[in-house]
Amino acid sequence: MIIKSLIVAGYESEAPGTILAYRAPPGGIAAFSAATVNLDAAWQVLYRTTDSFGNASATVTTILIPHNADYTKLLSYQVAEDAADPNCAPSYAFQKSAATDGALGLILPQAELLLIETALARGWVVTVPDHLGPKSTFLANNLSGHAVLDNVRAALASSKFTKISTDPTITLWGYSGGSLASGFAAELHASYAPELKIAGAALGGTVPLILPVINQTNKGAFTGLIPAGIMGLSNEYPSIAQLLQEYLLPAKKAEFNKAASKCLTGDIIEYLGQDVYSYVSDPGIFETPAALQVLNANNMGQHAPTIPLLVYKSINDEISNVTYTDDLVSYYCNAGTSVEYKKDYLSEHGTMAVLGAPDAIMWLEDRMRGVPVDSKCTTSSTFTSLLDPNTLVLLGEVLVNSLLDLLGAPVGPIMIG
Ligand SMILES: *[C@@H]1O[C@H](CO)[C@@H](O)[C@H](O)[C@H]1NC(C)=O
Ligand SMILES: *[C@@H]1O[C@H](CO)[C@@H](O)[C@H](O)[C@H]1NC(C)=O
Ligand SMILES: *[C@@H]1O[C@H](CO)[C@@H](O)[C@H](O)[C@H]1NC(C)=O
Ligand SMILES: *[C@@H]1O[C@H](CO)[C@@H](O)[C@H](O)[C@H]1NC(C)=O
């Protein structure tokens, strides 16, 4: 946790996005906390943002600058941190020798460095906010949306030391938990940060509604998302902390509370196949007015973005049924948002993060190059697999980059034939 030591008194009165402090990451940036990512430069920037109640908060972003950077292209990449422990945040997880909750604890945010490297290989400057904020308020999506928009503001204000252009082409990208932060940023953009010119957002593995995820993941591989999400919300909302006080069975409290000090992989292992309702005195807990108020406030579909979107989603997604994303896309399209919606038959939630990445990169590249979007919405259903030439070319690049990492070779356009 780098926040507490750097925070300055009176920061609350600064404008959202104001840089409060910055430094080079003390540990250096590393893939899987071992293989150094050979960047031209990296920065950790502490900036002022806004929580779910409109109060001042502060969080950190990690700015990654490749060799031969194109300082006019800025991607804000939101990782799927999905945890209630602040030590799972990318500003920590991306550093060499980072370790939270054992050897596997940080694997998931770290694995996304491989996707981030495909963006760095294009010369884009990539900024990766700790979008769950200082208390790791997983599912407090209003706060996450603010944290993303303010991290872009902070990146624009960082030109003096990062050399990022003051008027770059800006895009957003995130999968699953990262799509919630990116999606809320897109939804809140017009009201919270209308001065930002954002060329588009790629949202994969979307999870528009929270409540249905609970029963869909209960007693399964992803049950750990439930305690992580409820604990994350209780870190932000006193009403949820109160609900847990009332409903958690005393004998099960300690085990449930373990989610406060685990990252996503640890949560998945800890709660694998468990019945989350065995922890509470009444299965109605998630449908009480107090719970519904908070869950609804953090569902997507509150505002239609005014920036173009790519939405990509597995038809077999086992965490959030594709029908909820169909509904979200319809709502956006009816309200005038330009959405390219890609549904895929040959994947599920986990594999789509990788299989969908090449399409996302190509779409983001078009936005970076200023290719106009279709003003109408389009939907396509595809069979994405490793045999798709685009997937092969672009995933090949991902793997090449991870190998280059292991060899410590420079990451930048010059290395990509
Ligand atoms: C945040 O804002 C709310 C409502 O505006 C206020 O009641 C509350 O005390 C604030 N919390 C903090 C920690 O400042
Ligand atoms: C989820 O499952 C619980 C326990 O079986 C049940 O009580 C509840 O009504 C279900 N909720 C929804 C939204 O389907
Ligand atoms: C989310 O944040 C916006 C400010 O960006 C605020 O106006 C709105 O009330 C918030 N919504 C909820 C449901 O908390
Ligand atoms: C999604 O919901 C539809 C309709 O309720 C159902 O037919 C389908 O099997 C569900 N998909 C998955 C992957 O659970």
Higher pLDDT: 396 or 302? It is 302
Task: Reply yes or no on whether the pLDDT at 4 is more than 90.
Answer: no
Closest protein CA for atom 6 of ligand 4? 321
Residue 187 φ/ψ region, left for φ over 0, alpha for ψ in the -120 to 50 degree band, beta for the rest: alpha
Q: Which ligand is nearest to the CA of 313?
A: 4
Lining residues, ligand 4, CB within 6 Å: 316, 318, 321, 323
Say if residue 27's pLDDT is above 90: no
Task: Tell me the percentage of the chain whose pLDDT exceeds 90.
Answer: 73
Active site residue 349: yes
Counted residue by residue, the chain has a size of: 417
User: What topology does CATH give the domain 211-297?
Assistant: 434 Repressor (Amino-terminal Domain) (1.10.260)
Catalytic, out of 317, 344, 359, 366: 317
Q: Is 366 considered catalytic here?
A: no
Biggest CA-to-CA distance, the chain: 60
275 backbone dihedrals φ, ψ, rounded to 5°:
-95, 110
Whether 102 shows a pLDDT value over 70: the answer reads no
pLDDT at 341 over 60: yes
Ligand 2 midpoint to CA 291 (Å): 14
What is the atom index within ligand 1 of the atom nearest the CA of 55? 1
Rounded mean pLDDT, 254-262: 96
Is residue 317 annotated as a catalytic residue, yes or no?
yes
Share of the chain above pLDDT 70, in %: 86
Q: Is 190 in the pocket of ligand 3 (CB under 6 A)?
A: no
Q: Which atom of ligand 3 is nearest to the CA of 296?
A: 13
For the chain, give the mean pLDDT. 89
Ligand 1: residues with CB < 6 A are 53-55
Q: Across residues 349-360, what is the average pLDDT?
A: 82
The pLDDT of residue 280: 98
Q: Which residues pair with 22 in a beta bridge?
A: 45
More confident residue, 111 or 20: 20
Measure the CA–CA gap between 344 and 276, rounded to whole angstroms: 30
Ligand 4 centroid to residue 62 C-alpha, Å: 38
Residue 227 tokens read as 């305690």
Dump pLDDT digits (tens) for 114-164: 788 889 989 999 999 999 999 999 999 999 999 999 999 999 999 999 999
166-222 pLDDT tens trace? 999 999 999 999 999 999 999 999 999 999 999 999 999 999 999 999 999 999 989
Q: Can you give the pLDDT at residue 415?
A: 35
Give the C-alpha separation, 338 to 329, whole Å: 10
**pLDDT for 401 beyond 70:** no
pLDDT classification of 308: cutoffs 50, 70, 90: very high
Residue 33's pLDDT band (cuts 50, 70, 90): low
pLDDT at 390: 64
Reported as a pLDDT band with limits 50, 70 and 90, residue 407 is very low
pLDDT at residue 410 tops 70: no
Report which bound ligand comes closest to the CA of 145.
Answer: 3
Task: Determine the pLDDT at residue 29.
Answer: 84
| Contact by Cβ (8 Å): 297, 189 | no
- Specify the CATH number for 4-208+304-407; select among 3.30.1160.10, 3.20.20.105, 3.40.50.1820, 3.40.630.30: 3.40.50.1820
Calculate the CA dihedral of residues 347, 350, 351, 352 and round it to 10 degrees. 70
Q: Which residue has the higher pLDDT, 32 or 75?
A: 75
Pocket test for ligand 4, best of 313, 321, 324, 349 (most atoms within 8 A of CB): 321
Residue ranges per domain, the chain? 4-208+304-407, 211-297
Q: Name the pLDDT band for 30 (thresholds 50, 70, 90).
A: confident
pLDDT at 416: 33
Measured in angstroms, how far is the CA atom of residue 283 from the centroid of ligand 2? 7
Cβ–ligand 2 contact at 211 (below 6 Å) = yes
